[in-house]
Structure 1
Amino acid sequence: MLGLFSEAFDDPESYLNHQPSDAYLTRLLASDTFIAVAAFAAGQVVGGLTGYVLPKFEQERSEFYIYDLAVAADVRRQGIATELISTIKRIAKQRGIYVIFAQADDGDDSAVALYTKLGTREDVMHYDILPEHQST
């Protein structure tokens, strides 16, 4: 899935150059706060979705944030992304998650169209705040 994300987002630095250890991935996949689903064709990963369960403070409930979602270029427009989200919807229902949310960048027309078809748009601003030890 990391290779798929690297290609889809044109970002090998983030997805390939510093891959986590097997021990790290085992812990991550075993946690209650991370979910990954993949779509396969002919033994190859052709779609992937990763995200995070966010337990809430104000009520006993959680949200799910779709962090990465990609489909291989040669199999796009075949419903794979919609099926990945449908899988997450089923998992969310089983876990009592009350909402699933995602963000799309301006100009990412495919993502905007997908999320518009499946949900309600909210216009928000996004800010990156670096920890004290990092600088821009």
Structure 2
Amino acid sequence: MLLHHLRFTDVRLLRQLTALFGAAFADPETYGAEPPSDAYLEGLLAKEHIFVIVALAGEEVVGGLVAYELDKFERARREVYIYDLAVSDQYRRQGVATALIEYLCEVAAARGAWVVYVQADRGDDPAIALYEKLGIREEVLHFDIRVDRKPL
């Protein structure tokens, strides 16, 4: 297995990862119904504050994560937020997710980040077990606030 930090030329791999997310999260509509153009994805992958890391078995994306770097205002430091992380069914429980997170931590440290954080849904026991193995658990509430102010 090879870990690869995607660059703007890696749109094909990003599309594979997006399909993997759709399958892993049982949400193919969100992750596949309206795919962005190659130019849009190239622009995202070119941004320094967006990290997309994939695990490859040959040419196949078998896992990956998307994370965002956030500059803080209370101190001169950064945090990195893992937004999506998934591994193909046949590659789970083989250390792929741990390797992806450890690689992200190396990238984050090189960028001056002081912490990487992630959230998990209640009931997602495999994800919770993974994150508890790697970090400190905090109990928080998450709220989605629509910008058009209509309820979800």
After TM superposition, the score normalised by the length of structure 2 is: 0.86
Q: CA deviation at 1:132?
A: 2.5
Deviations 1:55-95 (A, max 9, x none): 11112111000000000001110000000001101001100
Find the partner of 1:53 among 69, 72, 77: 69
Deviation at 1:20, TM superposition (A): 1.3
Matched, 1:106 2:122: yes
Q: CA RMSD in A?
A: 1.1
Deviations along 1:39-69, one digit per CA (max 9) or x if unpaired, are: 0113210001001101111121110000000
Q: Match for residue 32 of structure 1?
A: 48
Percent of counterpart pairs with the same letter? 51
TM-score, normalisation: structure 1: 0.96
The ranges of structure 1 where at least 4 consecutive aligned residues each deviate by more than 6 angstroms after the TM superposition are none
Q: Name the residue aligned to 1:132.
A: 148
Q: Distance in 2 between matches of 1:64 and 1:100?
A: 5
Question: Structure 1 regions of 5+ residues with no counterpart?
Answer: none
CA distance in 2, matches of 1:103, 1:132: 25
Whether 1:122 aligns to 2:138 is: yes
Deviation at 1:6, TM superposition (A): 0.6
State the Cα distance separating 1:133 from its structure 2 match. Answer: 6.1
Matches within 5 A, 1:66-85: 66-85=82-101
Q: Distance in 2 between matches of 1:104 and 1:13?
A: 21
Distance 1:83 1:42 in 2: 17
Structure 2: gaps of 5 or more residues: 1-16
Q: Which one-letter code corresponds to 2:109 in the other structure?
A: K
State the secondary structure of the residue aligned to 1:88.
Answer: helix
